Structure formats: C-alpha cells, structure tokens
A and B are shown apart, each in its own frame.
Chain A
C-alpha cells in the first residue's frame, strides 16, 4: 500500500488535497499543454516553461491546501496591506510598458495587482467573517470601500480589465455574504444607467474603440478588429468536429494573433470543434461546481465566503475570455484560466485552488495524534 511507503506527515498533507478537484484541474492543464503544443507550433522552450509553471502551481496548491481557514484569515489583513503598499509603489516607481504603469521591477517584472486578485476577496471575507450576516448597510459600505480603494489604484495604471475583475471578486463576497436582493437590484439599475455615461466620459479612447470593435469587428480589420475577426474565423471554421489537432489552419499559418495566450481558446475551438468546446466548457463547469461545493463545506464563514468568491472569480475569467474570443465581449487581456500560456495567472489560480482545498472543514483524526 502507498500509505506504508510514504511518511505519515506526507500522507496527512495529501489527505487535505481534494483529489477530485485536483484531477479535474490536472486534466485541464493537460488539455492546455496539448493545445499550446499546437498553438506554439511545438515551441519546446515555451512548453517547458509552461510545464514549470504548472509544477510550481502544483507545489503552491499543495502548500496552500495545508493552511487552515483560521490561519489564512490572519494572513488576510497582511496580504491586503502589502498589496495596497505595492500598488502605491507602482504609482511611484512603476515600470511603464505600452503606456501603462503596472509593473514593479524586483529583478523580474511583477504585477502587484496579481496579489490583489486573492487579497481583496480575502480581506472582504475577513471583514464579514466577524460580522452578523446578512450584513448591515454600514458593513456593506465599508466592504465596498475595501474593494474600491485597490480598484481605483489599479484603474490609475490604467488597467480597466484587471480592476473590474478584482472589484467583482470583492463584490462576489458581498453577494455571498447575503446582501439584500433589493440593494443588489438597485446597484445593477444604477450601473445600467451609468454605463453609457461611463462609455462617453469615463473611458480612454482605446477602450472605447475596443467596445465599438466588438459590435462591428469587420469595420476595422487591420486594427483592433483583426483579432476578433480572425478568432471568429478560427472557431467557426472548426465546425462540429474540428480540423484536428495540429491541423488548425488559422493558427498554424499565423492568422490568429496572441494564440499562445489570450486567444488560445480559438485554437482549441478550431482544432477540436464544437464537441471539443462542449467538453472543455463541461470540464470548467465541473471545476466551478466542485469549487462551490468545497466552499459550502468550508470550516467557517470566512472559508465559505472566500471559497465561493474564488470559484466565481475563476468562472468570471472563463466567461470574459471565451466571450471575448468568440466575439461577444470586448477585448480585455484576460487569459483562459489554466490553458493560456503565462506563469502569473497559473500561479495565482493554483494558489486559489490550494486555498479552496485548505478551507474545507477538517475531520478530526484522533488516531493520527497518538
């Protein structure tokens, strides 16, 4: 038996890992590697680096799965505080690329907003954990402030996409905490009204262009419409069964831009078709469901709120990416979770899955203590 071969401490550590979720995530990573192999035209160094990202991610997952809810809760304030400090530092001494100041140079370039993807839901969950639920109006206001401060800092960089995603991960906590339906409905109504105002007065020209391009990509084929146009062709020409692995003309012949990263979904859709997409989306749905299930089995309120928010944020990335690539949402730089090439996103997501597993209520194992 395996249990006899491994030291008991390792065995205990592995017991805290949700094997079902790990299996689903591993399958997703495997599909990601297979797709990346085709998308990158067998770019071995790239595949190797992605493999390393996954291994590092697995280590982080194992590590964070060991952390109990009450321990993690104590990190929340520190993580949030550190995140805020670094965001301010970015505004001060950040590295500017392509007109946006998002990076800190610590030997390697690193985006502090990445910390906030986890720190914001942690902080809000932490805040609500000690409060009676459903939350009082004042608590909601305070929670909103906790969300909006980092959001505005990130908006300054400017990085609209990330700031919205981070804000939403905070809002998910508020929602899960039990904000009244009326209040939520009212907030939606205000947003619906302010959206056009936002479009005309609150957006940068390039952002407005992206929205316009969404509605009519053919209008600007050589500019920002090119990405959407080519990715729609890639997906559409995949048909029911797809063109087959390594046989996607759109990606193989360079027509599809950003195909290793943000637009990898189009490569998958072209090569594996509608049926492949059904399977992929089904796998994602399963992971999201398992995440929510784990959250509901959370050790305490903090665990439930954080776990639920992390699962929904994972879904949000999926929705924004697939919506963008299939041409129903504007182009925002969001990778397809665990499939797109890129270390930062994978490490953050695997950390989140690790946390999800650790947050689950522990069964007391008396025998182990003897």
Chain B
C-alpha cells in the first residue's frame, strides 16, 4: 500500500486513541516535573531549613549595642574626680525629613531648606553644615547623621521648644566624661578619648560595640576593665532598607564600677600648689597600704581638653611647651636619685658586711681610687673628718659612700638596690611607667659598648652617674624603709563599688617581698640616721625638721644635671636656671609609726635642703596635722581648694 493512501484515512476513533496516548504520556511527564519541583522544595524547606532560617534572621535582625555607663571616680574622701555629663546632639534621619518645598519629592533641596530653618533656631557653623552634607550622603536614608554636637543648654532648650516643627531632626542625649577638677591630678586621672585604630586592636569588639570613648592614660586607662562595664544588646527588626520596625529582645548593659582612689585631693592640691611655678614632682604614699596619697607632676594641663578630641592648636601648645606639661614627671621622669638613696645604700653595706654600724671612715673632702689621682669630691669641700654611718647619713657625707660602694662592688650594690625596686617598674596601676635605670657592667657593655670602670661604681655610690630613678620609685623605696623592709606595691585604687548605694570592696595591700637584713635592728640604725637628718643639730635638713609635732625621718639629695669640671667651683649664679641641680628629698613620718612617705623633686631647684625638704615638711604637716588651709601664696591654689570643698559637700 502506498504511503500517501494510508495517511489519507482519517477516522475519529483512531485520532481519539492517538490523542489519549499522547495526553497520558504528557500527564506522566507533568507528574514527573511536578515531583521534581516538590523535590526541590523539600531540599529548600526541609533539608536546608536551618541554613535558610539563619540567613533570614540575618536579613531582618539587627543587634544594636547599648553602651554601659562608665564608672565614676572619687578620691578617698568622696570628692568626685570624674563624672559623666549629659551632652546633647542634633541628629537628622534623612528619610524622615518631609517634603518641605512641596514639589512632591523628598530631595536634597528639602534637606537644605531644613538646615536653613534649623539654623534660625540653633545657629549652625559653616563647618557643621559642610561635614553634615558630606556624611549624610554616605549613610543610609534611615540612619541618623549628626548635625550639631556640644550644644549649649540654651540651644537645647530652644530646639526642644521647636521640636515639633522639625520632623526627622532628633535631639539625642549622650554621656560624656567630665573632670570637675580640671587640671588637678591630671596625670594620675588621665583621660578618655575617642577610640582610635590602635585601641581597636586590643579592645573586645563585642563589648565595645557601642562605646565611643576609652581610657587613654592614667587611671582611666589602667582600670578600663572596671570602669567600662558590659555592653547591653537590643535586637531590632529591620526591613530591606535598614529601617527599624520594632524591638525583638533586649539585654540591659551593666554599668562600670565606681573607683575610690587612695588619692587625697586636698593633699594633691597642696602638693601641686607647692610646686607651682616650678617643674617637679611630689609623690606621697601611705606606707602601710601602698596607697598613693598624692602624685603631683607640675606643670599640669586641663583634662577636659582631651575628652572630645583635643584641637590641633591646643595639643601643639601642650606638646611644644618647654616645661612639658603632658609629661608625668612622677611616673616617667628619670632623675639621678642623688643622696636620697644613702639610707638604702647603708642597708646594702650592712647586709653585704662592707660596713658595720660603728665603722668609721676618714673624709678629707674627697675620695681617691687606689693608684689614681682623680679626686671624687665630697660636697663638703673641707671634709667631714672621721665619720660613722649615722653621721654619714645625717651629714650626707659623700666620701663615706664612695668608699663603701667601691668596696662593695657594683654587682652586689645593684643587686641590693634591685630589692628596693630600683631599675624596675613598681607595678603601680597607671600606664606608661618608666623603669628608671639601675646600671650594671652588662648594661654598660650593651648600651655603650664600654667597660665598667671602678669610677662608675664610685659615682653610683652617691646616686649619680648612670643611675636614674623615678620619683615614684624613690617614694616606694622610702615607704619600704619606713615599713622596715616590707615592700608593698604602690597603687592608686583604694576600693571599688558597683554603684553609689552599694558597699565598697577594699583592696588588700599587695606585699611584694621582705628585704633581707643581717639584723632587723639595722633598720632602726639607718632610720635613726634619717631622723638625725631632720632633728639633729648637724642634719642637712635640720631647718625643715624644726618645731615638728612628730619625728620625721628624711634624706635630702642634690642631683647634678651638669658635670662640674675638676677643681672648678660650682657657681649657681653663673649657670642658667636649666643647668641648676635638681633638688630632692625623701622622708616619712611619724618615724616610729609611719603614715606617710614622700619623695619630692624640684627640677633645677638647687640644693635638696633648701627647696625639696621644706616642701616635703609642708606636705607631711598638711596630711598628718590636717593643715591643708595654711595660707598659700598663689591665688589659684586657694580657688582650687574652695572648689574641692564645694564638691565634697
């Protein structure tokens, strides 16, 4: 049969059957395809459900940090040192600014019109407008952009009254650190500043997510952990454009701890006032606990300058000031300790059996190394004659100590001085402490590629040469002597509390070590020499010890800034003030029951007995006899006192 004919036959029944077969096959394919889609949905909705739920939550849940309120700082008598002040900021949410010029669109022109109208209520500077215009373009339409910071109370009030006229412009309250004492104790307190890139590397990003400021130096930095607290979190629902739609959950922040410092602000003011006009440092420690009673470094600076980012000009002025106000002399200043360390050297001599209490040395006014012609001069040019340890301390005989150091040798000498903490950080709870320098032959080799000469040992015997100590180290070593060898780590923090109505937790004294002696009575012998400095008729600081209500143990010191050539006479008149000797003093009182140990250094102040000793006496009297009120020369000093009085009430 030809092909064409077969096809030409057309029957309804065959075609119906043909269609049915095709339709059934199609239906099966449809079923398969639908099952494939079901399989796909199974994968998405059942197998990968967790993964997509997470992605979905990531989409619409946003965690917003709630920064904790920073802990406050008080002195030991409850005077507030650091406070948080409310600061008001104007913020603009661009999307919420309405169509002001009624052109049917919310555009740039509306934003500018808004700025113009705000300007009539709260004056905006050109710089504020420029920065705002830059920032607003970079942010999402739903994110707030700051417009004006540091608003005055009047501006806040004026805007608050007109608030309803400015939809989209919000008045936000922020906490800002405030230091009511301004430039008092600024080096100890330190300051907070905006978190910068370097801070970000060490801070926990989770806990600092909402925090803008962090302690930069001083107690603010050293106790950052206690002061900061724990960030709270709010989970909000956001839409695809970042707009907040509601709150899902919230954990409250835990505020930072309040710090109560060992500092006595009245004593601090006294110390700073006494140094006014000079450059220098005073450190006062309670030897029984190691608490820092005062730490003055003069000149000082106003802390509040730093809180919101110091201006370039202000910083330049502080940085380039030849008196270096930013520099904490008490903690970072390294000075030759001079004669102030003679009591400690005496203890070293007694321990190493280089001397004994009755040992006498003849002082012709100088010391010579065997076989050398060079004369190491005593400050008393005609010499003290035959002298024992007690007198050597009281009269500050250099020859006695040249001889002792030379015979002891540098290794034993430095080793014993290390026991007092010289050459290492005291570990006080403040940042950027200097370790000073306790020189050894190894150190000299490393640092100067030179051998240690016997003359180097002779020089450190009177606290000169390479030896450098910080005023804090001196006060710490003096406190250790006062405690008869019990070395307690100095610290600024006295106690903490979680809130104003909570009980304080007092910190226990941190005893580092006990300094070994051959005989415990050696302490009394050396302290006796220090008492004679103040109260004997031959003591170098006898004028400062006169009429004291209690017995003071002290030691003067004079540190050479400038090497005086052989056989030339020191002429204070002729030398510029910068080349004058540093005036030093260390001491504690009462001698038998010490409650305060101090070190005083006045840069280029001249002899220790003339400047530093009387200053120390005033500090000790102020603290022990509550004589803070003694007339002070400077106007500002009394003003500061009145300020603290007001704050304490």
Which chain A residues border B432 with CB–CB below 8 Å? none
Instruction: Contact check, A239 vs B59: say whether CB atoms are below 8 A apart.
Output: no
Label chain B's interface by main secondary structure: helix
* A281/B18 in contact, CB under 8 A: no
- Interface membership of B647, Cβ < 8 A: no
- Give the distance in Å from the alpha carbon of A104 to the alpha carbon of B29 in the complex: 37
In-complex Cβ contact of A232 among B44, B238, B241 (8 A): B44
How many A-B pairs have beta carbons closer than 8 Å: the answer is: 138
Asked if B56 and A234 sit within 8 Å, CB to CB, the answer is yes
Q: Is A70 an interface residue (CB 8 A)?
A: no
Q: Which of B26, B45, B241 meets A273, CB within 8 Å?
A: B45
Residue of B nearest to A236 (CB): B52
Known: A236-B44, A237-B55, A301-B15. A254 touches B239 (CB 8 A): yes
For the complex, is B306 an interface residue (Cβ under 8 Å from A)? no
CB-nearest residue of chain A to B47? A236
Given the interface pairs A133-B10, A326-B44, the reply to whether A237 lies near B237 with Cβ below 8 Å is no
Give residues of chain A (294-351) contacting chain B, Cβ–Cβ below 8 Å: 295-296, 300-301, 304-305, 308, 312, 315, 319, 322-323, 326-328
User: What is the number of residues of chain A that contact chain B, defined by CB distance less than 8 Å?
Assistant: 50
Given A250-B59, A253-B60, CB of A269 within 8 Å of CB of B45: yes
Do residues B240 and A319 form an inter-chain contact, with CB atoms below 8 A?
no
A257 CA to B10 CA in the complex, in Å?
53
Interface residues of A in 122-150 (CB under 8 A from B): 131-134, 136
B605 to chain A, nearest CB (A): 69
The residues of A that contact B18 with a CB separation of less than 8 Å are 133-134, 178
**Which one of A89-97, A159-167, A200-208, A283-291 is at the interface?**
A283-291
Instruction: Decide if B245 touches A232 in the complex (CB within 8 Å).
Output: no
Interface 0/1 of A225-266, CB less than 8 Å to B: 000001011111111100000000110011100000000000
Q: Tell me which of B8, B19, B238 contacts A132 (CB under 8 A).
A: B8
Is there an interface contact between B23 and A295, defined as CB atoms closer than 8 Å? Answer: yes
CA A172 to CA B33, docked complex, whole Å:
16
Q: How far is the CB of A263 from chain B (nearest CB, A)?
A: 13
CB of B648 closer than 8 Å to a CB of A: no
Closest to B240 in A: A254
Q: Is the CB of A285 within 8 A of B34?
A: yes
Asked whether any CB of chain A lies closer than 8 Å to the CB of B85, the reply is no
Interface string of B22-54 (1 = CB under 8 A from A): 110011001101100110111011101101110
B119 contacts A by Cβ under 8 Å:
no
> Please, which residue of chain B has its CB at the minimum distance from the CB of A237?
B56
Pairwise interchain contact B59-A233, C-beta atoms closer than 8 A? yes
Tell me which residues across on chain B come within 8 A of A288, comparing CB atoms: 27, 30
- Cα distance A239–B41 when bound, in Å? 9
Q: Which residues of B58-110 are within 8 A (CB) of A?
A: 59-60
A132, A136, A232 interface centre (most CB from chain B within 10 Å): A132
Residues of chain B within 8 A (CB-CB) of A319 are 33-34, 37
Contact B37 A322 (CB under 8 A): yes
**Contact of B150 with A by CB under 8 A:** no
CB contact under 8 A between A249 and B34, given known A132-B7, A236-B44, A292-B23: no
Which A positions have Cβ atoms within 8 angstroms of B? Answer: 131-134, 136, 172, 175-176, 178, 230, 232-240, 249-250, 253-255, 269, 273-274, 277-278, 281, 284-285, 288-289, 292, 295-296, 300-301, 304-305, 308, 312, 315, 319, 322-323, 326-328
Q: Which 5 A-B pairs have the closest CB atoms?
A: A236-B52, A237-B56, A254-B240, A253-B239, A274-B45
**A-binding residues in B (CB < 8 A):** 7-10, 12, 14-16, 18-20, 22-23, 26-27, 30-31, 33-34, 37-38, 40-42, 44-46, 48-49, 51-53, 55-56, 59-60, 237-241, 245
Known: A236-B48, A295-B19. 12 other contacts (CB 8 A): A172-B26, A237-B53, A239-B46, A249-B237, A255-B240, A274-B42, A281-B34, A281-B38, A288-B27, A300-B12, A315-B30, A328-B37
Sample (8) of A-B pairs whose CB atoms are under 8 Å apart: A175-B26, A254-B241, A255-B59, A289-B27, A308-B19, A322-B37, A326-B40, A326-B41
